[in-house]
Amino acid sequence: MSTIIMTACWPLQGMSPAQKSVLISLADNSNDDGVCWPSVARIVERTCLSERAVRNALRWLEQSGVLSAHHRTGRSTWYTVSPSSYNPGTTCPPAADAGAPRQEMPP
């Protein structure tokens, strides 16, 4: 467990609770270099999220730059958590309960 990586991940903003939960779970498993290798099943167990939610969060975290996944054929995937590389981009997905986008009224 790396308190250095955990401490750097907590203040990051702009992600869903599921994404943050997966990130914190990975940070909790990582060493001081940010390297960890928990299985998806282990992350599911620790976060109480579905497998699909965990996989979606992992994908999003990779796209945002805070996570690098290293796939090894026939073996487990290992991850590098890099809080300083976090770049969520300029778009923010709407909240699940936001409803449909507002349509402008005709003149």
CATH number of the domain to which 74 belongs = 1.10.10.10
- Percentage of the chain surpassing pLDDT 70? 82
Neighbours of 44 (CB within 10 A): 19
Q: How many independent structural domains does the chain possess? A: 1
Domain annotation covers residue 96? no
Domain annotation covers residue 25? yes
Burial (0-12, 13-18, 19+ Cβ within 10 Å), 52? exposed
Domain annotation covers residue 91? no
Domain annotation covers residue 9? yes
Confidence of residue 15 (pLDDT cuts 50, 70, 90): very high
Q: Which residues pair with 36 in a beta bridge?
A: 79
**CA 83 – CA 71 distance, rounded (Å):** 20
The answer to whether residue 105 scores a pLDDT higher than 60 is no
Print the domain residue range for 8.
3-85
Q: What is the pLDDT of residue 81?
A: 94
